[in-house]
Structure 1
Amino acid sequence: MPRGYARNKATKGLITLTVADTYTVEFFQWNARRLEMKPLGTVADVYAEDLRRVFTSETGLDCTLGAMRAA
């Protein structure tokens, strides 16, 4: 993520698929000077269709996969 643009100050995001077939979305802030990753928040039990909404509501940034065209 671009530094300084996210509402929650996140610079890194981690999306993990759980055994319940849902996702856990975690947000972190990376400090290069101290070489440390500060956890900012976690959203658990997110369904695939809600990933985009959760990302946008947490960061204020919109995400997309772009136009998907047949080859």
Structure 2
Amino acid sequence: MTYHDRTMQRAQFRDEIARAKHRMPPRCRQTFKMFCQGHSQSAIARILKRSPVSVRQDLHHARRVCREVSA
């Protein structure tokens, strides 16, 4: 199971994703949306002109928010 699959499994219901999105900062929301569309972390970093570390941090935050919502 890949990182993307685990992330999507935690936020598999659309209402959970919608609730989670409102608890994320805008740039984190944008990163999570692109990740859900299938972009890799390096591609997101290139497209948004940010460092891969900040992309990873945003995805970590998004995962944590989704986990809190689904718990």
In which range does the TM-score fall when normalised by the shorter chain? Answer: under 0.3
Structure holding more strand per residue: 1
Higher relative contact order (CA 8 A, sep 6+): 2
TM-score by length of 1: 0.26
TM-score by length of 2: 0.26
Structure holding more helix per residue: 2
Larger Rg: 1
